[in-house]
Structure 1
């Protein structure tokens, strides 16, 4: 995490804002289709509207049954005949609502903030995937999907407003890919991950004097980050295959002027004296590298078993908390939040109900990425996660398939315990003590696959 403060001119700030708006227009359609989600042990989701939702990600990098393998393991394209395409969409509802505890500073009020994730708990997702056969052994592919981050919105006057009011951290990936079949058993694949990152963060500022109400600090930026996805697929025999993937770290370097509004004269003077009022904020987010190993085995004409084990390096993520600890004696606009690496394990099955119908089942677990057990930051109300998925798909013709899938992600009860030395009455953020009870997310997806 890199954070830097310096004075900037109004002209430079205007140039920055025009540039950010330009990139926003470029990514608007992609973001609408492929907005990121928060589910896993960290902020990378396996849910992009495909059959993997019903499998709870079991067999993620070994299934290779449709064009979504461009995203999950590019080497799997060597199993696809001809030209294939898949389009997916999903709707999610997250039960992430805050309960204020008795230790919270009374002057913060009793507004619980409402449903924190999405709009009233709802937010969309999905993706588009394409595979083209240059020859039986050489494939080209392209994927568009968003699996990093989420929108987070609390009521403006909620009890934790001095820690966060709203924040959006999204990554939409464009993935041109290639795969080559080395021999009858081994295939290799690679893809360029061009990730368009979108970041906003808004927090209330304690003006101390009630006559002024709350001030506001906002950061808004867009940027590109670059990474590489590598995949290997090894077919042990006709019915069993093993997939191994590595996705590199992607650096999203956000930067922008600190936009303050509605500051009281006293707070504005204190910020100006500290050199923070006209500062530039740099936020270096590192989307973590990850490794996934998966297996698929066809037991008989009806049953297949799938499994996955994965690792994500969240210890280098370096997310930031924007705000002011004490407006009477401001020191910094930012503080770092430490994280730890996570592990993922999943198991699932496919059952051939009839010639046109295939059913999917799966369960998975992700370890937590916030280091203090069940205690989390209101900036990221998630940690460990259990997934339970079910789905089915129907072969409509020799060239088309459609499917439905649903998944429930249980995050348990998460606590907050944020305490400050400066009371709210003299400019502090106050103590925010409470919990997010029985957090969970329902994922509903639909997809269609075509061969040409």
Structure 2
């Protein structure tokens, strides 16, 4: 029963603490907010937050270039180490509509992302000079996933309660300056995936309280990031990057609890209780072209255009549609490729301070009128601002903020079986004014 999917979120209790601790042990998690165009974030606590990702693969001004374009390491002298941290608050709350089945109740699920809308992230990045032309680097961060944790008794509990996907990357990297204009770079993307999905099971047909169905697994998967940096002159450079797809092969037996004896017997006869569910999650390949140009002593302009192949990845919805005839535990969902454009500027306020500004747009990757509560996300606008102070010895620190707006998305899920007969029921409503606020801080050491 091979399925392609991505389901993201935060679990509760001990599980949540364990996931969070592992994330920070690896260099922190930079999770995508649930209203981005796709689930790959540009925000991992660096100066790119204040630029809304403009010039993402061409900026190459600190050690985060190990992650955004490894070829950019050739512009860094000596050893550079960058530590970042960020906090985000996400407004993802479903306003239930009149089309929602009355028997499901009126609990809207609360703020679904992270812990009541809050989530932490960041990363660590290092570049080391073997010679002026040869650089080695390492990045520890995560920019894949969108944590979702609805109230257990919310109206959509038979579609999703909470889900988790965290992609934590370790990226050893290398860069080489071919000549005074051209540099090439590559990274191995070793990504550790943490996956969990839980949904309520409706036992009301047999007069019993809700049961639950959960699956979870962890897995390592690998990909390659390639980068090129071409310096047209000392003031202008172009960056080209390509990140390969990363394929996870999660596999888990369904973990049922609280099933009525009647439903358990039906599932046992169908062979579902002891089955194996294979969940193939694909982090899509992506390509980006970026520009950096120092216009004069004060101003620099930056821009990016990118593409992500979300159409090669499907999402499945976990649960039981019809308890009298449970033919499957998953349902497929479709996605479209996305496009990304960004523009920004840097302004040198004085010898010590540099300011950053940016705006970006990511296109739709699903039908905005039919989104699933598993993934309340679609197109998004980003607006960023930041400031950076140069210190002695080549070190510097900075702070950046961004606002991401995803508009309003509608949900209209219909069930063929009434709630009273054990069906999921109809779930209708709108995620209104989807938005995410990011606040990031970082420090770069030079040795």
TM-score scaled by structure 2? Answer: 0.95
Give the C-alpha shift of residue 27 in structure 1.
3.9
**SS, match of residue 215 in structure 2:** strand
| Aligned CA distance change for structure 1 residues 28 and 304 (closer, same or farther; 3 Å) | closer
Give the C-alpha shift of residue 24 in structure 1.
6.8
**SS, match of residue 135 in structure 1:** coil
Q: Distance in 2 between matches of 1:53 and 1:28?
A: 20
1:9-408 map, 5 Å: 27-30=22-25, 33-38=28-33, 39-209=35-205, 211-370=207-366, 372-408=367-403
Q: Is the 8 A contact 2:30 2:142 kept in 1?
A: yes
**SS, match of residue 157 in structure 2:** coil
Q: Distance in 2 between matches of 1:25 and 1:432?
A: 31
Matching residue within 414, 419, 423 for 1:419: 414
Unmatched tracts of structure 2, length 5 or more = 5-14
Q: Distance in 1 between matches of 2:143 and 2:349?
A: 31
Q: Distance in 2 between matches of 1:281 and 1:108?
A: 28
1:437 equivalent in structure 2: 432
Give the C-alpha shift of residue 26 in structure 1.
9.6
Q: Is the 8 A contact 1:70 1:131 kept in 2?
A: yes
Q: Distance in 2 between matches of 1:256 and 1:432?
A: 28
Q: Distance in 2 between matches of 1:375 and 1:397?
A: 54
Give the C-alpha shift of residue 396 in structure 1.
1.7
Q: Is the 8 A contact 1:293 1:309 kept in 2?
A: yes
Q: Distance in 1 between matches of 2:275 and 2:20?
A: 26
**SS, match of residue 103 in structure 2:** helix
TM-score scaled by structure 1? Answer: 0.94
Q: Distance in 2 between matches of 1:404 and 1:307?
A: 20
**SS, match of residue 315 in structure 1:** helix
Q: Is the 8 A contact 1:172 1:196 kept in 2?
A: yes
RMSD (CA atoms): 1.8
Q: Is the 8 A contact 1:219 1:257 kept in 2?
A: yes
Q: Distance in 2 between matches of 1:40 and 1:315?
A: 16
1:2 equivalent in structure 2: 2
Give the C-alpha shift of residue 397 in structure 1.
1.3
Give the C-alpha shift of residue 102 in structure 1.
0.2
**SS, match of residue 428 in structure 1:** coil
Listed one character per residue, the Cα deviations across residues 224-265 of structure 1 (whole Å, up to 9, x for unaligned) are 110000000000011000000000000011111100000001
**SS, match of residue 152 in structure 2:** coil
**SS, match of residue 74 in structure 2:** helix
Q: Is the 8 A contact 1:24 1:222 kept in 2?
A: no
Q: Distance in 2 between matches of 1:355 and 1:428?
A: 66
